[in-house]
Amino acid sequence: MFNPALVNRFRQLETPFYYYDLELLKATLKACADASFRHHFLVHYAMKANFNPRVLDTIQSFGFGADCVSGNEVLAAISHGFKKEKVVFAGVGKSDKEINLALDQDIFCFNAESVQELDVIDQLASAKNKTANIAIRINPNVDAHTHHFITTGLEENKFGINTWELPAVAEKLRQCQNLNFLGIHFHVGSQINDLSVFQNLCLKVNEMQAWFQGQGFEVKVLNVGGGLGIDYFLPDKNSIVDFESYFQVFKDFLQINPNQEVHFELGRALVAQCASLISKVLYVKNGLKKNFLILDAGMTELIRPMLYQAYHQIENLSKSGSQEVRESESLGDGKVESQAPSTINHKPSTHYDVVGPICESTDCFRTDVELPESQRGDLIAIRSAGAYGEVMASGYNLRDRVQAVYSEE
């Protein structure tokens, strides 16, 4: 991914920054579009993964919809050209202000997550003399087999409506005069690499669809969420996920009625591999038991390793043959199988804890990373940072906000 000319370009720039490979982003979007459109599936981009303006403009140009979880995301989607009839508003805690904003924008659908929320949307829509399209987010109690911080489909999670609440939901939908029931919505978690999880989800969707139809409701939309994972360990070898196999699972196991729409909400799988956090070594500390590479980027620029114990590939761009190789399989964030780290060449290497400058002991990207012997000023790339990277950056310690650099500049 990083040729010598690109590394030389990085040397002229102030670090840290996010580098976006827009060519890879476009190739990923094309692969997803080709695979989904073949089955007439509609993909909504999960904007929480990355709302960098250039990224949004690129995604919109491929005809995807937008999955939003705040009023400001709704506004951002529409301002970047996403069609209102392809904008959905999800989230367990929509405020009255946000609901009113979305009603004013005439978005496609609200994904409602509680019986009480149905009442609130109905009342606010009534005050505006409008009808709000509604999909019911159901908690399917399907285990995503991923990190517990990013699992959303179990009964212990705050998201969605539990199956034992569905009779109350049906009664509420019959009572509310300003709600138009469109369908059902599911999302079981994130960074899912085991496609059998989605197969299990399909069986639950089929069951829930039959229940609503038995209650006399027409289910026009099946929204199966997202959660498709990426390969954080081999980002160059597997830079684009296997969208064909992913969508085929739903084609094979989902009971799709004539004229029924199937919607997806993909985020990480579309944007994660297109960006890297580029940093610089400030100091090297050699100890008796530990060696530290202290970078000018930290948890204020990329918090995933500290928040989720997430793995990111780390490379020293200033040393030839510095790319780390791991023959391993990701089982989800924080779970690894068959790791066998090595370096490409035989230059001297050292094990480092790669840490940031923030005044927190948790400000550590990874421990015991084997890299070529590194020194002050070396450029470091932290890979696969296009999802939940720049969007989660903060100003803690009064840090400057991280900047973005693009391949097309």
Confidence at residue 150, expressed as pLDDT on a 0 to 100 scale: 41
CATH code where residue 127 lies? 3.20.20.10
Instruction: For 297-307, write each residue's pLDDT tens digit.
Output: 999 999 999 99
Give DSSP secondary structure letters for 297-344: --TTT--HHHHH-----EEETTSTT--EEE--EE-STT-EES--EEES
* Torsion of Cα atoms, 101 then 107 then 113 then 118, to 10°: 70
For residues 286 and 216, membership in a common domain is answered with no
Confidence at residue 394, expressed as pLDDT on a 0 to 100 scale: 97
Q: Could you tell me the pTM of the whole model?
A: 0.90
| Boundary residue ending a domain (223, 249, 272) | 272
Confidence at residue 336, expressed as pLDDT on a 0 to 100 scale: 41
| Boundary residue ending a domain (272, 305, 327) | 272
Rounded Cα distance, 147 and 332, in Å:
6
Confidence at residue 312, expressed as pLDDT on a 0 to 100 scale: 98
Domains held by the chain: number: 2
| Boundary residue ending a domain (255, 272, 289) | 272
Confidence at residue 408, expressed as pLDDT on a 0 to 100 scale: 85
CATH code where residue 281 lies? 2.40.37.10
Confidence at residue 189, expressed as pLDDT on a 0 to 100 scale: 87
Q: Can you name the residues that pair with 343 across neighbouring β-strands?
A: 324
* Spans of the chain below 70 pLDDT: 142-157, 320-347
Phi, psi of 194 (to 5 degrees): -95, 105
Which structural domain range is residue 324 located in? Answer: 4-17+273-406
Please state, rounded to an integer, the average pLDDT across all residues of the chain.
91
Instruction: For 349-368, write each residue's pLDDT tens digit.
Output: 999 999 999 999 999 999 99
**Given the structure tokens 């007439």, which residue do they identify?**
40
Confidence at residue 342, expressed as pLDDT on a 0 to 100 scale: 44
DSSP state of 150: G
Confidence at residue 292, expressed as pLDDT on a 0 to 100 scale: 97
Confidence at residue 346, expressed as pLDDT on a 0 to 100 scale: 57
